[in-house]
Structure 1
Amino acid sequence: MPINHDTITTADGTCRVTVATPDGDGPWPGVVMYPDAGGVRATFDQMAAQLAGYGYVVLVPDVYYREAGWTPFDMGSVFGDEDERKRLFGMIAKVTPEIMATDAAAFFDYLQARPDVRGDTFGTTGYCMGGRTSLIVAGRVPDRVAAAMSFHGGGLAADDPGSPHLLAEQITARVYVGGARDDASFTVADSLILEAALTAAGVDHTIEFYSAAHGFAVPDNLPYDEAAARQHWEAMAQVFGSTLR
């Protein structure tokens, strides 16, 4: 699948993005794919291309673009290196729900303006912190999101005013959450809180746990699990296929 790099002007600067498109003429539905805490890197180019192969224009944003000149993280060692771990969590903390929503509006405007993208509502998907972002965007920019997916996302039902479960009443998208096994960032208890909130709000949703550890869907993560990753691709094909196509 063709992969290109572009920039989008936002309220706070210029965000570089990767855009993967299907072969052929289109137009196709658009999807924003939010990376995990490690940020944009080669593995997400590959993942965007794979999703594009299902018939979507896929945009992967550099969610850390406000950090001038930031260098990529090595996902195999970042959590064992105290300095790198501190740098990572410092950058994560700056990507607030307000920033997520403002940036998402710019991403959706960019997609809608492309001649190879059809429609004015989009899919969102994400991994780890990106899974949380996907749901927050669905709640804060509800008129632009038709389907929101989260894979091994953390903090989805947290004791935090920015928690996605508190946005359930605003969500109009179909929601899918694929949790990881024994994941302290999204536990079975958390899933019950999220389930109750989405059900009370009448949101069409699925929450399920995969038999794999946090990070199972992203190839350069140490816990990557091929079978679970395949299952997650099947889930995306089904959810986006039934809502965006």
Structure 2
Amino acid sequence: MSALSVPAPDGPIDAVLETPGDAIPSPWPGVVVVHDALGVGRDIRGITSRVASHGYLTLTPDLYSRGGRARCVVRVFRELIAQQGRAVDDLLAARDLLAARPDCTGRVGVIGFCMGGGFALVLAPKDFSASAPFYGLLPRNIDDALRGSCPIVGSYGRRDPTLWKAGPRLDAALTRLDVEHDVKAYPGVGHSFANRLATGNTGNTLLRIVGMGYDYEKSEDAWRRVFTFFDDHLSGGAE
């Protein structure tokens, strides 16, 4: 995994890049990974490596580059809700950087978690080839926001108290809009079921009490769906 700088309209931001390695010859389809509210930590870096190992040139930009998490998190959330602003511009710049690389096919998908899942939905109509939101916040005026979207594979937890019935609502909206999609709400799990959050034993217990926490079985099923979907829409359509 290498560090690099992404040129963006409001100045460069930090990012990490992972390649599939020599086992899979380039050019590769690209994937932008959008981190959750915790930033680019061990869990997101692990996800970046996992996506790359499946055959994708994977770029994870740090949306907190201009001041750190404490200073940036509120601004980034506001821009998510507004569906515009520096964070959106930064992610589009990350897409453009990947698409322009000689080792990329030019087809780019986006995967996001929690806050990042919300951005994955906001970005779906913005020249991406596929989008995979994990428990992403649904955009306001969802039909208008997702009209013209790329194909979407979404994963939600039925026990998520912060996104009650978000999965079925997203599924219904994409059906109305005739957007190809695979949206699944998993029983028995809540928010962050695909994230390995390092909180210690006490923290993990509290997460489960409030309907959060990692679940291996559901997480692996979600990843299987995502990779099958991305293989169809990114790898399968690569030139």
TM-score (norm 2): 0.82
Partner of 1:233: 223
Contact 1:166/1:197, CA 8 A, preserved across alignment = no
- Partner residue in 2 for 1:176: 153
Residue correspondences, number: 216
Shift of 1:92: 4.0
Q: 1: CA distance between counterparts of 2:73 and 2:169?
A: 25
Q: Matches of 1:41 and 1:236 in 2, distance apart?
A: 22
Q: Which runs of 4+ in 1 moved over 4 A?
A: none
1:156–1:165 Cα contact (<8 Å) kept? no
1:105 CA drift (Å): 2.3
Q: 1:217/1:193 Cα in 2 relative to 1: closer, same or farther (>3 Å)?
A: closer
Is the contact between residue 26 and residue 116 of structure 1 (CA under 8 Å) also seen in structure 2? yes
The SS at the match of 1:186 is: coil
Q: Say if 1:175 and 1:206, in contact at 8 Å, map to a contact too.
A: yes
Moved more, 11-20 or 219-228: 219-228
Give the corresponding residue for 2:138.
Answer: 156
Identity across aligned pairs (percent)?
A: 29
- Cα distance in structure 2, aligned partners of 1:165 and 1:125: 20
Contact 2:64 2:73 in 1 (8 A): no
2:181 aligns with one of 190, 200, 205: 205
TM-score w.r.t. length of structure 1:
0.80
Check whether the contact 1:123–1:145 (CA below 8 A) recurs between aligned residues.
yes
The unaligned stretches of length 5 or more in structure 1 are: 72-83
Map 1:98-137 onto structure 2 (within 5 A). Answer: 98-99=84-85, 100-119=87-106, 121-137=107-123
The aligned residue for residue 81 of structure 1 is none
Contact 1:64–1:91 (8 Å) recurs in 2: no
Deviation at 1:101, TM superposition (A): 3.4
1:1-245 superposed matches below 5 A: 3-24=1-22, 25-66=25-66, 68=67, 70=68, 90-96=74-80, 97-99=83-85, 100-119=87-106, 121-139=107-125, 141=126, 144-153=127-136, 155-156=137-138, 160=140, 164-171=142-149, 173-188=150-165, 190-211=166-187, 212-220=189-197, 222=204, 223-245=213-235
User: In structure 2, what is the Cα distance between the partners aligned to 1:167 and 1:199?
Assistant: 14
Q: CA deviation at 1:8?
A: 0.8
Structure 2 spans left out of the alignment, 5+ residues: 199-203, 205-212
Q: Partner letter of residue 160 of structure 2? A: D
Q: CA deviation at 1:60?
A: 0.7
Q: How far off is 1:89 after superposition?
A: 5.6
